[in-house]
Amino acid sequence: MKRLLSACLLALLLNGCVTSEEDPNDPLEPLNRHTQGGFLWLDDHLLHPVADAYVEGFPTGLRRAIHNALANLGLPTVIVNDLLQGNPLRSAGALGRLAINTTAGLGGLFDVAADAGLPAHEADFGQTFGVWGIGEGPYLFLPFFGPSNPRDAIGVALGIATNPAMLLGGNDAAMMVGGELATGAIDRRANRGRALDQMRAESFDFYVTLRDAYRQNRAYRIEQGRAGR
Amino acid sequence: MPIFSILPRALACLGLLAAAPVFATAAGPGARADSFDTALLDTMKSARSLGPQGRYDRLVPVMKEDFDFTGMTRDIAGMQWSRLAPEQQSRLVTAFSRFETAMFADWFDSYAGQSFQVKDVVIRNDDVATVGVALSGAGPVLRLEYVLRVDSAGGWHIVDVRYEGWMSVVERRREEFAEIMSRYGFEELMARLEAKGHELVDHADNAASPHLQRPIRDLWDRPLMPIQ
């Protein structure tokens, strides 16, 4: 049974982006739609109001500092994944960003590295798996995490497991990681609010819009990873 | 020189002169994109005084000239296109062109010193081109990519717009159209297209929410959570 499940999981992962007009590779669409509905309800009634209050209550400079600090905490993941994708120079750049922003940037509050010619870039485990040729599998809409697929979901789990805060262990680790996730969610919603609202307003079917946007973006990220950009 | 030997050459010259305006006005892909951006910028500069309806009215002839809406609609409809009757195809093209124009009128609803700059033009196989454009002046630079095709008369027209190199209008709408047509049918798609187009033009401008300056970049600049 375990072998069968593993084989099924592997088949899902290697399925690749088998989408077509007739088959969007979304066998769990009814469940995904329900999950998205719940996600959007939470967004409308909790995350969006909290993000709005955050924007109104915190000055731009402070919000920028929080955003920078969160980005700095995510750099170890970027460094590792750049290497795994075969982009050592990009990895070195990310390492440089971590070193400069942690020291001269006062613990990551200021993005001094960008001014020094080391701009930010993203790299994550899901992207790495894609660069390695592992297919995305069917579309998933995860509670709290939003649009995803088996490959990227495993990438998210791996990212959390390898978060340096996990070294604290026990409740401390859970609080640190949980706090980082929650703050990051508010930060992202504050920055993306208008874009998301705009996209929703001009969609005919927001579920399909998000699914397609997610896939387009991930395909783009993987292409960038392969090209070392 | 006898006139009979001059006449054919003179007529040939006249023929070339008559044809010259066709070649002179058939804009290359870079020029076409630049022309559209110039018209868009003019609309943005009067955005607030025009209002959504005014911006829409101004953009209709511009986009009719610069875009190949028939080609775009056909690309979006994909396999469904051949299953539609000619009358349905025509209705879909009309509804989509109205909707897309309304979207641009909605997006470009303010001006804060922005400018468009053509960065690169790449032509493939002599009939498809991509033109990279930078929109700067209000926050971070937004990268647009126009995809153009040449028509039988040698004119280039926009058939897709990609934001930040990845968000394609055609690909996005293709999935939506396919989903709606397969679930609810053609008439439902038409109803939604027309309703959404009217909605975009009828709403009032939101002075606190300039749209296009930072839309798609922010949405997917990073995964939803910081740790991935």
- Give yes or no for a contact between B37 and B104, defined as CB atoms under 8 angstroms apart: no
Rounded to whole angstroms, what are the CA distances from B30 to A14, A61, B15, B133?
41, 39, 28, 9
CB within 8 A of B187, min separation 6: which ones?
Answer: none
pLDDT of residue B151: 87
| Confidence (pLDDT) at B139 | 66
Element housing B75 (H / E): helix B69-77
Strand-by-strand arrangement of the B156-163 sheet = B115-124, B128-136, B142-150, B156-163, B167-168
Reading chain A (229 residues) residue by residue, the pLDDT tens digits are 444 344 444 444 444 445 665 678 999 999 999 999 999 999 989 998 999 899 899 998 899 999 999 999 999 999 999 999 999 999 999 999 999 999 999 999 999 999 889 999 999 999 999 999 999 999 999 998 899 999 999 999 999 888 877 777 788 888 888 888 888 888 888 877 777 787 888 888 999 999 999 999 999 999 999 998 7
- Chain B residues with CB-CB distance to A under 8 A? 78-80, 103, 106-107, 165-168, 171-172, 174-180, 189, 192-193, 196, 200, 209, 211, 214-228
**In this structure, what are the phi and psi dihedrals at residue A31, rounded to the nearest 5 degrees?**
-65, -40
Q: Average pLDDT across each block of 10 residues of chain B; the chain has 228 residues. List them in order.
A: 47 41 60 94 93 93 95 94 96 95 89 90 92 83 91 91 88 91 92 87 56 40 31
pLDDT in tens, A183-222: 888 888 887 777 778 788 888 899 999 999 999 999 999 9
Residue that has been written with the tokens 């028939």 in this structure: B70
How far lies B53's CA from each of B10, B59, B98, B138, B163, in Å? 52, 10, 12, 24, 24
CB B218 to CB A163 under 8 A? no
Q: What is chain A's percent helix, strand, coil content, to nearest 5? A: 70, 5, 25
Q: What is the pLDDT of residue A134?
A: 97
Residue A141, strand partner residues: A147
Contacts of B206 in chain A (CB under 8 A): none
Q: What is the reported pLDDT for A45?
A: 92
Interface of A with B in 89-118 (CB under 8 A): none
The pair of structure tokens assigned to B209 is 């929410």
Q: Which of A67, A204, A220 to mutate against chain B (most B CBs within 10 Å)?
A: A204
Residue with tokens 């953009």: B59
**Quick one: A114 exposed, middle or buried, by C-beta within 10 A (0-12, 13-18, 19+)?**
middle
Tell me the three state secondary structure of residue A220.
helix
Spatial contact of A139 and A25, defined as CB atoms under 8 Å apart = yes
User: How much is the pLDDT for B21?
Assistant: 37
- Nearest by CB to residue B176, choosing from A191, A209, A219, is A209
Whether this prediction's pTM lies above 0.90 is answered by no
